[in-house]
């Protein structure tokens, strides 16, 4: 009897130590992960001229990470749904920041041809390149005006214009912008007519954007078919769960149901990936 008590006590103490270690190191890892995520998001947002506090971002992320799984548990009462919500809460901040960055770069690309024409007009009126860039920074729209304003600030602090344009090219990774900066650098080195060069680049970019718009309109049906294909199985599972909850219960509560859901999700993801690949045409 005493041996049984000793074994039970040892096991109990070992479990307590394991729980303490899990909570201690788990909380440290969670705090470190949240700090890194908030700092990275803050840095990425500052590059897009969106200024906020890292602690506020971390607080929002923690609230979402706690609130979303709790709501999923009270609504569904299913651990699988809670796990999916936890994964989504972890991935959501990075996805949102990347989406904002993509939209900002797309807007910059749309504004670039008009900005180049403004620079061409200023150059033909006798202004220097920095003065022409200042016209774009003061009269243009965000985000393009913000980026060119930053270029001018860097040149006022003593940075060479070529270096400032290279930094702009790194912040806004666009092939069209690389073509513009290369044209500016070439005109400064060999003395070419910068106005004519930028005007030709502006026409090229505008024609490219028009072509991309046509391609998007022609591939819109295929992209919508991919969305419908990916969403239809999920919609049918929800409808059948409402109509036949007892028959659908093993799909959410048994291990083989979870395996089936994993296979369904994987095949849907693969199909949607290939449809997006087919309908995404790079110009």
Residue 173: pLDDT band by 50, 70, 90 thresholds? confident
Q: What is the fold of 105-211?
A: Receptor-associated Protein (1.20.81)
Answer whether 0.75 is exceeded by the pTM.
Answer: no
The whole-chain average pLDDT of the chain stands at: 76
Between 234 and 18, residue with greater pLDDT: 234
Tokens of 194: 């910068």
The SS3 call for residue 94 is: helix
Q: How far apart are CA 209 and CA 116, in angstroms?
A: 15
Q: Is 227 helix (H, G, I), strand (E, B) or coil?
A: helix
Distance CA 182, CA 178 (A): 6
Give the span between the Cα atoms of 54 and 112, in whole angstroms: 32
Cβ neighbours of 52 (radius 10 Å): 13
Domain boundaries, the chain: 2-103, 105-211, 218-279
pLDDT digits (tens, 9 = 90+) for 213-225: 888 887 887 788 8
Q: What value does the mean pLDDT take over residues 87-95? A: 75
What is the rounded CA–CA span in Å between residue 271 and residue 263? 12
Q: 153, 89 in Cβ contact below 8 A?
A: no
125-138 per-position pLDDT tens digit? 888 888 888 888 88
């Amino acid at each position: 009897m005493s041996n049984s008590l000793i074994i039970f006590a040892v096991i109990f103490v070992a479990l307590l130590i394991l729980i303490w270690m899990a909570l201690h190191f788990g909380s440290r890892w969670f705090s470190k992960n949240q700090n890194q995520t908030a700092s990275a998001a803050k840095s990425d947002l500052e590059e897009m001229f969106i200024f906020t506090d890292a602690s506020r971002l971390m607080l929002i992320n923690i609230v979402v990470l706690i609130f979303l799984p709790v709501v999923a548990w009270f609504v569904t009462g299913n651990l699988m749904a809670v796990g999916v919500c936890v994964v989504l809460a972890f991935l959501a901040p990075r996805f949102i920041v990347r989406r904002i960055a993509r939209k900002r770069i797309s807007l910059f690309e749309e504004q670039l041809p008009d900005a180049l024409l403004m620079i061409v007009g200023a150059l033909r009126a006798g202004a220097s390149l920095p003065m022409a860039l200042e016209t774009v920074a003061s009269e243009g729209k965000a985000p393009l005006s913000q980026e060119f304003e930053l270029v001018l600030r860097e040149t006022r602090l003593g940075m060479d214009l070529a270096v400032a344009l290279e930094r702009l090219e790194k912040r806004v990774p666009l092939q069209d912008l690389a073509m513009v900066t290369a044209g500016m650098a070439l005109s400064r080195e060999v003395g070419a007519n910068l106005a004519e060069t930028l005007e030709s680049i502006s026409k090229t970019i505008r024609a490219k954007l028009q072509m991309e718009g046509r391609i998007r309109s022609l591939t819109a049906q295929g992209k919508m078919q991919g969305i419908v294909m990916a969403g239809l199985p999920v919609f049918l599972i929800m409808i059948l769960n409402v109509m036949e909850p007892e028959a659908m219960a093993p799909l959410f509560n048994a291990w083989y149901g979870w395996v089936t859901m994993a296979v369904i999700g994987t095949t849907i993801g693969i199909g949607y990936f290939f449809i997006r690949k087919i309908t995404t045409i790079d110009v």
